[in-house]
Structure 1
Amino acid sequence: MKKMFLKAITATALAAAGNAYAVSDAANDFLSVYTGSHDAAFDVLSADVAYNAATNEFVFRTTTAGPIAGVAGAAYVFGLDVGGSTNAPFASVGLPGVTFNATVTLRADGTGNAGANAISTHIVGDQIFSTVSAALLPSKGLAPKDYTWTVWSIDSRVAGPGRLADFAPNANITVSAVPEADTYAMLMAGLGMLGMVARRRSRKGA
Protein backbone atom coordinates (compact mmCIF):
# COMPACT_ATOMS: atom_id res chain seq x y z
CA MET A 1 0.00 0.00 0.00
CA LYS A 2 2.80 2.40 0.95
CA LYS A 3 4.59 1.65 -2.31
CA MET A 4 1.46 2.41 -4.32
CA PHE A 5 0.97 5.66 -2.38
CA LEU A 6 4.58 6.66 -2.96
CA LYS A 7 4.32 5.96 -6.68
CA ALA A 8 1.10 7.98 -6.94
CA ILE A 9 2.61 10.99 -5.18
CA THR A 10 5.79 10.76 -7.26
CA ALA A 11 3.74 10.70 -10.48
CA THR A 12 1.73 13.73 -9.30
CA ALA A 13 4.91 15.67 -8.52
CA LEU A 14 6.47 14.83 -11.87
CA ALA A 15 3.30 15.69 -13.79
CA ALA A 16 3.07 19.02 -11.99
CA ALA A 17 6.69 19.78 -12.81
CA GLY A 18 5.73 19.65 -16.49
CA ASN A 19 8.08 19.43 -19.43
CA ALA A 20 11.54 20.43 -18.19
CA TYR A 21 12.70 21.43 -21.66
CA ALA A 22 10.69 22.25 -24.75
CA VAL A 23 13.32 20.81 -27.12
CA SER A 24 15.74 17.89 -27.02
CA ASP A 25 18.53 17.70 -29.57
CA ALA A 26 20.77 14.86 -30.74
CA ALA A 27 24.32 14.75 -29.46
CA ASN A 28 27.29 15.53 -31.71
CA ASP A 29 25.17 16.95 -34.54
CA PHE A 30 27.34 19.93 -35.43
CA LEU A 31 26.49 21.75 -38.66
CA SER A 32 28.58 20.74 -41.67
CA VAL A 33 29.65 24.40 -42.14
CA TYR A 34 31.00 24.64 -38.57
CA THR A 35 34.75 25.22 -38.31
CA GLY A 36 35.04 26.17 -34.63
CA SER A 37 35.95 24.23 -31.50
CA HIS A 38 34.30 20.83 -31.03
CA ASP A 39 34.35 21.16 -27.25
CA ALA A 40 31.22 19.53 -25.78
CA ALA A 41 30.01 22.96 -24.59
CA PHE A 42 29.14 23.83 -28.21
CA ASP A 43 26.89 20.76 -28.56
CA VAL A 44 23.32 21.73 -27.49
CA LEU A 45 21.31 18.84 -26.04
CA SER A 46 18.17 20.66 -24.84
CA ALA A 47 16.70 24.14 -24.63
CA ASP A 48 13.64 26.06 -23.55
CA VAL A 49 12.19 29.56 -23.53
CA ALA A 50 9.35 29.98 -21.01
CA TYR A 51 7.15 33.02 -20.48
CA ASN A 52 5.76 33.92 -17.04
CA ALA A 53 2.70 36.12 -17.53
CA ALA A 54 2.52 36.88 -13.79
CA THR A 55 5.95 38.56 -13.77
CA ASN A 56 6.13 39.46 -17.49
CA GLU A 57 9.49 37.69 -17.76
CA PHE A 58 11.08 35.09 -19.98
CA VAL A 59 13.41 32.33 -18.81
CA PHE A 60 16.01 31.26 -21.38
CA ARG A 61 17.94 28.06 -20.74
CA THR A 62 19.95 25.43 -22.52
CA THR A 63 21.93 22.32 -21.62
CA THR A 64 24.99 21.16 -23.51
CA ALA A 65 27.04 17.96 -23.73
CA GLY A 66 29.70 19.31 -21.37
CA PRO A 67 30.60 22.02 -18.82
CA ILE A 68 30.08 25.56 -20.09
CA ALA A 69 31.78 28.03 -17.74
CA GLY A 70 34.88 29.64 -19.18
CA VAL A 71 34.89 27.75 -22.50
CA ALA A 72 36.56 30.20 -24.88
CA GLY A 73 34.25 31.58 -27.56
CA ALA A 74 31.15 29.65 -26.46
CA ALA A 75 27.88 31.56 -26.73
CA TYR A 76 24.22 30.66 -27.14
CA VAL A 77 22.03 32.93 -29.25
CA PHE A 78 18.25 32.75 -28.88
CA GLY A 79 16.54 34.19 -31.95
CA LEU A 80 12.96 35.34 -31.38
CA ASP A 81 10.17 36.27 -33.75
CA VAL A 82 8.25 38.96 -31.84
CA GLY A 83 5.91 39.79 -34.75
CA GLY A 84 6.26 41.99 -37.79
CA SER A 85 9.07 41.58 -40.33
CA THR A 86 11.70 38.91 -39.62
CA ASN A 87 15.00 37.78 -41.06
CA ALA A 88 15.78 34.22 -42.20
CA PRO A 89 19.57 34.50 -42.49
CA PHE A 90 20.35 30.78 -42.27
CA ALA A 91 18.48 29.58 -45.36
CA SER A 92 21.85 29.26 -47.11
CA VAL A 93 22.94 26.62 -44.57
CA GLY A 94 19.69 24.66 -44.87
CA LEU A 95 17.67 26.29 -42.07
CA PRO A 96 14.98 28.45 -43.73
CA GLY A 97 12.62 27.92 -40.78
CA VAL A 98 14.83 29.92 -38.40
CA THR A 99 13.40 33.45 -38.43
CA PHE A 100 13.90 36.22 -35.89
CA ASN A 101 13.89 39.95 -35.24
CA ALA A 102 15.14 39.95 -31.63
CA THR A 103 17.97 38.12 -29.91
CA VAL A 104 19.13 37.11 -26.44
CA THR A 105 22.74 35.96 -26.11
CA LEU A 106 24.17 34.01 -23.16
CA ARG A 107 27.94 33.55 -23.02
CA ALA A 108 30.22 31.06 -21.32
CA ASP A 109 32.15 33.93 -19.73
CA GLY A 110 29.03 34.76 -17.64
CA THR A 111 27.91 37.80 -19.64
CA GLY A 112 24.74 38.20 -21.67
CA ASN A 113 22.61 40.58 -23.73
CA ALA A 114 18.97 41.03 -24.67
CA GLY A 115 19.41 43.13 -27.78
CA ALA A 116 21.74 45.95 -26.71
CA ASN A 117 20.92 45.53 -22.99
CA ALA A 118 23.22 43.67 -20.62
CA ILE A 119 21.55 40.84 -18.64
CA SER A 120 22.60 38.47 -15.86
CA THR A 121 23.61 35.00 -17.00
CA HIS A 122 23.91 31.97 -14.72
CA ILE A 123 25.91 28.81 -15.36
CA VAL A 124 25.69 25.53 -13.45
CA GLY A 125 27.79 22.76 -14.95
CA ASP A 126 26.39 22.02 -18.41
CA GLN A 127 23.44 24.45 -18.06
CA ILE A 128 23.23 28.15 -18.82
CA PHE A 129 20.16 30.27 -18.14
CA SER A 130 18.84 33.79 -17.66
CA THR A 131 15.62 35.52 -16.62
CA VAL A 132 14.83 38.47 -18.91
CA SER A 133 12.13 41.10 -18.57
CA ALA A 134 9.73 41.15 -21.53
CA ALA A 135 10.27 44.91 -21.56
CA LEU A 136 13.70 44.21 -23.07
CA LEU A 137 12.05 42.23 -25.88
CA PRO A 138 9.24 44.54 -27.01
CA SER A 139 6.53 43.15 -29.28
CA LYS A 140 6.29 44.05 -32.95
CA GLY A 141 2.85 42.48 -33.28
CA LEU A 142 2.76 39.26 -31.24
CA ALA A 143 1.77 38.83 -27.59
CA PRO A 144 4.80 37.64 -25.54
CA LYS A 145 3.16 34.23 -24.99
CA ASP A 146 3.04 33.82 -28.79
CA TYR A 147 6.68 34.67 -29.51
CA THR A 148 8.54 31.92 -31.33
CA TRP A 149 12.20 31.01 -30.91
CA THR A 150 15.14 28.79 -31.63
CA VAL A 151 18.68 28.75 -30.23
CA TRP A 152 22.07 28.16 -31.77
CA SER A 153 25.51 27.80 -30.27
CA ILE A 154 28.41 29.68 -31.80
CA ASP A 155 32.15 29.89 -31.52
CA SER A 156 32.46 33.68 -31.40
CA ARG A 157 36.14 33.49 -32.34
CA VAL A 158 35.20 32.33 -35.84
CA ALA A 159 33.82 34.61 -38.57
CA GLY A 160 30.95 33.93 -40.97
CA PRO A 161 28.84 30.74 -41.20
CA GLY A 162 31.75 28.71 -39.83
CA ARG A 163 30.86 29.99 -36.34
CA LEU A 164 27.43 28.22 -36.37
CA ALA A 165 27.80 25.06 -34.28
CA ASP A 166 24.40 23.58 -33.39
CA PHE A 167 20.70 24.53 -33.58
CA ALA A 168 17.87 23.42 -31.29
CA PRO A 169 15.32 23.28 -32.80
CA ASN A 170 15.98 23.66 -36.52
CA ALA A 171 12.88 25.87 -36.97
CA ASN A 172 11.01 28.25 -34.66
CA ILE A 173 8.62 26.99 -31.99
CA THR A 174 6.33 28.88 -29.59
CA VAL A 175 7.56 29.77 -26.09
CA SER A 176 6.48 27.52 -23.20
CA ALA A 177 4.10 28.78 -20.52
CA VAL A 178 5.34 28.81 -16.92
CA PRO A 179 2.98 26.57 -14.87
CA GLU A 180 0.23 28.42 -13.01
CA ALA A 181 0.40 28.95 -9.25
CA ASP A 182 -1.99 26.07 -8.51
CA THR A 183 0.29 23.69 -10.46
CA TYR A 184 3.27 24.81 -8.38
CA ALA A 185 1.17 24.32 -5.24
CA MET A 186 0.35 20.76 -6.32
CA LEU A 187 4.03 20.08 -6.97
CA MET A 188 5.03 21.44 -3.56
CA ALA A 189 2.28 19.43 -1.85
CA GLY A 190 3.39 16.27 -3.63
CA LEU A 191 7.03 16.80 -2.70
CA GLY A 192 6.02 17.57 0.89
CA MET A 193 4.11 14.30 1.14
CA LEU A 194 7.08 12.43 -0.27
CA GLY A 195 9.23 14.01 2.43
CA MET A 196 6.72 13.01 5.13
CA VAL A 197 6.70 9.39 3.96
CA ALA A 198 10.51 9.33 3.88
CA ARG A 199 10.71 10.74 7.44
CA ARG A 200 8.22 8.19 8.80
CA ARG A 201 10.13 5.34 7.20
CA SER A 202 13.37 6.61 8.63
CA ARG A 203 11.87 6.83 12.15
CA LYS A 204 10.52 3.29 11.93
CA GLY A 205 13.87 2.01 10.77
CA ALA A 206 15.73 3.75 13.64
Structure 2
Amino acid sequence: MRLNDVRYLLMAAVIGGPLQAQAAGITDPVGDYLSGYTGSTAGDLDVLSASLTYNPSTDIFHFESNYGADVGTTPAGFYVLGINRGAGTARFAANGLPNVLFDTVIRFGSTGTGLINLLNTDPATVTPLLPSAITIQGKRLSADIAGALLPSAGLAKSDYTWNLWPRDGASGTGFPAISDFAPDTTNAAVQTVPAPAAVWLFGSVLGVITVIGKRRVPAPAVLPV
Protein backbone atom coordinates (compact mmCIF):
# COMPACT_ATOMS: atom_id res chain seq x y z
CA MET A 1 0.00 0.00 0.00
CA ARG A 2 1.40 3.38 -1.03
CA LEU A 3 1.78 6.24 1.45
CA ASN A 4 -0.78 8.29 -0.50
CA ASP A 5 -3.29 5.46 -0.06
CA VAL A 6 -2.70 5.49 3.70
CA ARG A 7 -3.19 9.26 3.83
CA TYR A 8 -6.45 8.91 1.90
CA LEU A 9 -7.80 6.25 4.24
CA LEU A 10 -6.85 8.24 7.33
CA MET A 11 -8.56 11.34 5.92
CA ALA A 12 -11.68 9.30 5.17
CA ALA A 13 -11.64 8.00 8.75
CA VAL A 14 -11.37 11.51 10.20
CA ILE A 15 -14.18 12.88 8.03
CA GLY A 16 -16.47 9.86 8.00
CA GLY A 17 -16.20 8.89 11.66
CA PRO A 18 -18.08 11.89 13.11
CA LEU A 19 -20.76 11.54 10.44
CA GLN A 20 -21.43 7.95 11.47
CA ALA A 21 -21.59 8.99 15.11
CA GLN A 22 -24.58 11.28 14.52
CA ALA A 23 -27.99 9.81 15.24
CA ALA A 24 -31.02 10.23 13.02
CA GLY A 25 -34.14 12.16 14.02
CA ILE A 26 -37.46 13.21 12.50
CA THR A 27 -38.46 16.26 10.50
CA ASP A 28 -41.88 17.87 10.51
CA PRO A 29 -43.47 20.16 7.88
CA VAL A 30 -43.51 23.90 8.48
CA GLY A 31 -46.83 25.31 9.64
CA ASP A 32 -48.68 21.99 10.00
CA TYR A 33 -50.77 23.12 12.96
CA LEU A 34 -53.49 20.74 14.05
CA SER A 35 -57.01 21.31 12.86
CA GLY A 36 -58.93 22.80 15.76
CA TYR A 37 -55.83 24.26 17.42
CA THR A 38 -56.73 27.56 19.09
CA GLY A 39 -53.36 28.84 20.28
CA SER A 40 -50.48 30.94 18.99
CA THR A 41 -49.13 30.42 15.48
CA ALA A 42 -46.04 32.57 16.02
CA GLY A 43 -43.80 29.63 15.07
CA ASP A 44 -42.20 28.62 18.36
CA LEU A 45 -44.84 25.92 18.87
CA ASP A 46 -44.31 24.52 15.37
CA VAL A 47 -41.90 21.55 15.49
CA LEU A 48 -39.47 21.41 12.56
CA SER A 49 -37.19 18.60 13.74
CA ALA A 50 -36.56 16.48 16.80
CA SER A 51 -34.61 13.48 18.03
CA LEU A 52 -34.20 11.39 21.17
CA THR A 53 -31.01 9.36 21.51
CA TYR A 54 -29.76 6.97 24.17
CA ASN A 55 -26.15 6.33 25.09
CA PRO A 56 -25.84 2.96 26.89
CA SER A 57 -22.30 3.71 28.07
CA THR A 58 -23.42 6.78 30.04
CA ASP A 59 -27.10 5.85 30.58
CA ILE A 60 -28.11 9.28 29.26
CA PHE A 61 -30.98 10.22 26.96
CA HIS A 62 -30.36 13.31 24.82
CA PHE A 63 -33.32 15.27 23.43
CA GLU A 64 -32.96 17.75 20.57
CA SER A 65 -35.70 19.86 18.99
CA ASN A 66 -35.99 22.83 16.64
CA TYR A 67 -38.94 25.13 15.99
CA GLY A 68 -40.16 27.74 13.54
CA ALA A 69 -39.34 30.68 15.83
CA ASP A 70 -37.35 31.36 18.99
CA VAL A 71 -38.44 29.30 21.98
CA GLY A 72 -40.36 31.60 24.32
CA THR A 73 -41.97 33.72 21.61
CA THR A 74 -45.33 32.50 22.92
CA PRO A 75 -45.38 33.49 26.64
CA ALA A 76 -47.52 30.55 27.79
CA GLY A 77 -46.02 28.01 25.41
CA PHE A 78 -44.43 24.78 26.61
CA TYR A 79 -43.31 21.45 25.15
CA VAL A 80 -44.36 17.91 26.06
CA LEU A 81 -42.18 14.92 25.23
CA GLY A 82 -44.19 11.71 25.57
CA ILE A 83 -42.19 8.50 26.04
CA ASN A 84 -43.30 4.87 25.93
CA ARG A 85 -41.13 2.79 28.29
CA GLY A 86 -43.24 -0.32 27.76
CA ALA A 87 -46.56 0.51 29.42
CA GLY A 88 -47.68 3.21 27.01
CA THR A 89 -51.36 3.77 26.35
CA ALA A 90 -53.19 5.67 23.62
CA ARG A 91 -54.38 8.68 25.60
CA PHE A 92 -55.19 10.57 22.38
CA ALA A 93 -57.14 7.73 20.74
CA ALA A 94 -60.39 9.68 21.04
CA ASN A 95 -58.71 12.46 19.04
CA GLY A 96 -57.81 10.12 16.18
CA LEU A 97 -54.28 9.26 17.33
CA PRO A 98 -54.36 5.61 18.51
CA ASN A 99 -50.67 5.09 17.73
CA VAL A 100 -49.27 7.85 19.95
CA LEU A 101 -48.45 5.77 23.02
CA PHE A 102 -46.82 7.00 26.22
CA ASP A 103 -46.50 6.23 29.92
CA THR A 104 -44.26 9.21 30.67
CA VAL A 105 -44.39 12.90 29.86
CA ILE A 106 -41.57 15.40 30.20
CA ARG A 107 -42.72 19.00 30.23
CA PHE A 108 -40.21 21.64 29.14
CA GLY A 109 -40.99 25.26 29.90
CA SER A 110 -39.86 28.04 27.60
CA THR A 111 -37.68 29.45 30.39
CA GLY A 112 -35.59 26.29 30.81
CA THR A 113 -37.58 24.31 33.37
CA GLY A 114 -38.37 20.62 33.12
CA LEU A 115 -40.60 18.08 34.90
CA ILE A 116 -40.68 14.29 34.40
CA ASN A 117 -44.04 12.66 35.13
CA LEU A 118 -44.14 8.84 35.26
CA LEU A 119 -47.82 8.17 34.60
CA ASN A 120 -47.80 4.41 35.27
CA THR A 121 -47.03 4.70 38.99
CA ASP A 122 -49.63 5.13 41.73
CA PRO A 123 -49.51 7.94 42.52
CA ALA A 124 -47.78 9.39 39.47
CA THR A 125 -44.13 10.23 40.13
CA VAL A 126 -43.04 13.78 39.31
CA THR A 127 -39.33 14.68 39.25
CA PRO A 128 -37.90 18.10 38.32
CA LEU A 129 -34.99 18.28 35.91
CA LEU A 130 -31.97 20.35 36.85
CA PRO A 131 -31.87 23.64 34.89
CA SER A 132 -28.31 22.78 33.89
CA ALA A 133 -29.64 19.76 31.98
CA ILE A 134 -31.74 21.95 29.67
CA THR A 135 -30.45 24.25 26.94
CA ILE A 136 -32.44 26.84 25.00
CA GLN A 137 -30.70 28.68 22.17
CA GLY A 138 -32.96 30.61 19.82
CA LYS A 139 -35.13 28.09 17.98
CA ARG A 140 -33.44 25.09 19.61
CA LEU A 141 -34.36 23.27 22.80
CA SER A 142 -32.28 20.34 24.07
CA ALA A 143 -31.92 18.35 27.27
CA ASP A 144 -29.94 15.53 28.84
CA ILE A 145 -31.98 13.10 30.94
CA ALA A 146 -30.45 10.47 33.22
CA GLY A 147 -31.63 6.98 32.38
CA ALA A 148 -32.33 6.36 36.07
CA LEU A 149 -35.18 8.88 35.81
CA LEU A 150 -36.76 6.84 33.00
CA PRO A 151 -36.77 3.25 34.34
CA SER A 152 -38.01 0.45 32.12
CA ALA A 153 -41.69 -0.45 32.20
CA GLY A 154 -41.16 -3.48 29.97
CA LEU A 155 -38.93 -2.25 27.15
CA ALA A 156 -35.17 -1.98 26.97
CA LYS A 157 -34.15 1.67 27.10
CA SER A 158 -32.82 1.44 23.55
CA ASP A 159 -36.31 0.32 22.44
CA TYR A 160 -38.27 3.22 23.95
CA THR A 161 -40.41 5.31 21.59
CA TRP A 162 -41.50 8.93 21.79
CA ASN A 163 -43.59 11.77 20.41
CA LEU A 164 -43.41 15.54 20.87
CA TRP A 165 -46.30 17.97 21.14
CA PRO A 166 -46.09 21.67 22.06
CA ARG A 167 -48.94 23.36 23.90
CA ASP A 168 -50.13 26.92 24.35
CA GLY A 169 -51.13 27.21 27.99
CA ALA A 170 -53.23 30.27 27.20
CA SER A 171 -55.63 27.99 25.31
CA GLY A 172 -56.41 25.82 28.32
CA THR A 173 -55.53 22.22 29.10
CA GLY A 174 -57.54 20.36 26.48
CA PHE A 175 -56.66 18.99 23.07
CA PRO A 176 -57.24 22.35 21.26
CA ALA A 177 -54.17 23.71 23.10
CA ILE A 178 -51.89 21.23 21.28
CA SER A 179 -50.33 22.82 18.21
CA ASP A 180 -48.50 19.93 16.56
CA PHE A 181 -47.45 16.31 16.88
CA ALA A 182 -44.01 15.18 15.76
CA PRO A 183 -44.19 12.62 14.27
CA ASP A 184 -47.72 13.40 13.07
CA THR A 185 -49.60 10.19 13.91
CA THR A 186 -47.27 7.69 15.57
CA ASN A 187 -44.23 7.35 17.79
CA ALA A 188 -40.59 7.56 16.70
CA ALA A 189 -37.93 5.15 17.90
CA VAL A 190 -35.17 6.17 20.28
CA GLN A 191 -31.86 6.09 18.42
CA THR A 192 -28.95 4.37 20.15
CA VAL A 193 -25.80 6.45 19.93
CA PRO A 194 -23.05 4.51 18.10
CA ALA A 195 -19.44 4.27 19.24
CA PRO A 196 -17.82 7.70 19.74
CA ALA A 197 -16.02 9.08 16.71
CA ALA A 198 -12.64 8.80 18.45
CA VAL A 199 -13.14 5.06 19.00
CA TRP A 200 -14.28 4.61 15.40
CA LEU A 201 -11.23 6.51 14.19
CA PHE A 202 -8.88 4.41 16.33
CA GLY A 203 -10.37 1.26 14.84
CA SER A 204 -9.98 2.64 11.33
CA VAL A 205 -6.35 3.57 11.87
CA LEU A 206 -5.66 0.20 13.44
CA GLY A 207 -7.21 -1.47 10.42
CA VAL A 208 -4.96 0.51 8.08
CA ILE A 209 -1.90 -0.42 10.11
CA THR A 210 -2.94 -4.07 10.06
CA VAL A 211 -3.33 -4.02 6.28
CA ILE A 212 0.09 -2.45 5.90
CA GLY A 213 1.61 -4.97 8.29
CA LYS A 214 0.26 -7.86 6.25
CA ARG A 215 1.90 -6.62 3.06
CA ARG A 216 5.07 -8.53 2.33
CA VAL A 217 8.08 -6.33 1.68
CA PRO A 218 10.37 -7.86 -0.98
CA ALA A 219 13.73 -8.96 0.42
CA PRO A 220 16.63 -6.79 -0.76
CA ALA A 221 18.85 -8.25 -3.45
CA VAL A 222 21.99 -10.00 -2.15
CA LEU A 223 24.97 -7.87 -3.04
CA PRO A 224 28.35 -9.47 -3.85
CA VAL A 225 30.98 -9.16 -1.11
TM-score by length of 2: 0.73
CA RMSD for the aligned pairs?
A: 2.6
State how 1:1-206 maps to structure 2 within 5 Å. 12=16, 15-19=19-23, 21-69=24-72, 71-84=74-87, 86-115=88-117, 116-119=126-129, 120=131, 121-159=134-172, 160-170=174-184, 171-181=186-196, 183-186=197-200
C-alpha separation in 1, matches of 2:49 and 2:43:
13
Q: What displacement does 1:104 show?
A: 1.2
CA contact (8 A) 1:70 1:109 kept: no
Larger Rg: 2
Name the SS for the 1:165 alignment partner: coil
For residues 117-148 of structure 1, the C-alpha deviation after alignment (integer angstroms, 9 at most, x for no partner) is 11132101101011011111111111111111
For structure 1, the 5+ residue unaligned runs are 189-206
Percent identity between the two aligned chains: 34
Distance 1:13 1:140, change over 3 A: closer
The amino acid across from 1:117 in the alignment is: T
Q: What displacement does 1:81 show?
A: 0.9
The amino acid across from 1:100 in the alignment is: F
- Residue 197 of structure 1 corresponds to none
C-alpha separation in 2, matches of 1:43 and 1:187:
38
For residues 139-198 of structure 1, the C-alpha deviation after alignment (integer angstroms, 9 at most, x for no partner) is 1111111111111111122221111101111211220111213x344579xxxxxxxxxx
CA contact (8 A) 2:21 2:195 kept: no
- Residue 210 of structure 2 corresponds to none
CA contact (8 A) 1:17 1:184 kept: no
